[in-house]
Amino acid sequence: MPVDFFEKEFVTVCERYNQTFGSQSVCNQMTRCRVILAIIHMGLLAKRIEKTKNKAEVRDDIRMFIRKKNSLMSIFSTAEKIFQERRRYDNGNQAERQSGQRSNVG
């Protein structure tokens, strides 16, 4: 059975979600929920497109699928940049504390 393009793209987005948000313990929960809902909608669109014999009937669904995929990939890229900056900032603060400067915490 040939690999369906839409199923393959759906799996790619799911893997990218796990890669981006899976390792983050602290994250904006509203963003995470919206991303999950968008991924679920992509899955439903992929199944509807796959089941339809006449692709002209689902042309709008195909456009919506591609639009959601591109939006999600953009969100993942932005989130990864933010997480990297946060890690760099946290690592810099830990290095300062270890170099002998006193922390004003407790």
* pLDDT single digits (tens) 20-79: 888 776 677 888 899 999 999 999 999 999 999 888 899 999 999 999 999 999 999 998
Predicted local confidence at residue 55, as pLDDT = 82
pTM comes to 0.74
Q: Are 64 and 70 within 8 A, CB to CB?
A: no
- Cα–Cα distance between 54 and 60 in angstroms, integer? 13
